[in-house]
Amino acid sequence: MSGREAVATAHWRRLDGEGSDRCTLSRVAQGWIMVGHAHWRDEGCDTTLSYDIRCAPDWRSLSADVAGERGGRPLSMRIEATPMGWRMDDVLQPGTEDCTDLDLSFTPATNLMPIRRLGAFAGDELRVAAAWLMPDLDCVARLDQIYTRLPDGRVHYASAGFAADLDLHGSGFATQYPGLWQGWVDDA
């Protein structure tokens, strides 16, 4: 396969404040790539970020590039998996050595990778350690997450005292993230 083959594009609007996100999932020769653009305003600060997330064919997170601006200041970072743990701009992030997934705190797009690895039957459960880009965007930390397939096809997500039942599109993108995101998906 050469180039990219688009699979689906997700569109979300934030429910907990001003903001939106748009992400296109594509198949590439080396696996998968998600290319997105998020904009939000919180505490009087505007943030606009573009992101590229690369995944292996088995949906294991490999790396991400994030760039844009926050509060009028330019922001750019590279986050990548290494055998020693996740690096952010070539700085090893402590406690991330066994993290298999990457979770960008500002977008629901990164729930896709564990959801795609989750079994298809009700009650199937996947426990993951995610390298979580913290909401202040200045470091990556370990975040334990549990995904459980529900009988109605939704997925129950739980981490760090937070839990929600996610409605899904056939692509695996969440379309309802109660209290945080509401969206829809266009098939390619």
Distance, first Cα to last Cα, the chain: 17
Question: Residue 44: its pLDDT value, please?
Answer: 87
Q: So what's the pLDDT on residue 3?
A: 85
Instruction: For the beta carbon of residue 186, count every other beta carbon within 10 angstroms.
Output: 13
| Nearest one of 66, 101, 107, 108 to 86, comparing CA atoms | 101
Give the pTM.
Answer: 0.94
Q: Are 10 and 31 within 8 A, CB to CB?
A: no
- Nearest residue to 114 (alpha-carbon basis) of 77, 152, 65, 156: 156
pLDDT level of residue 77 (50, 70, 90 thresholds): very high
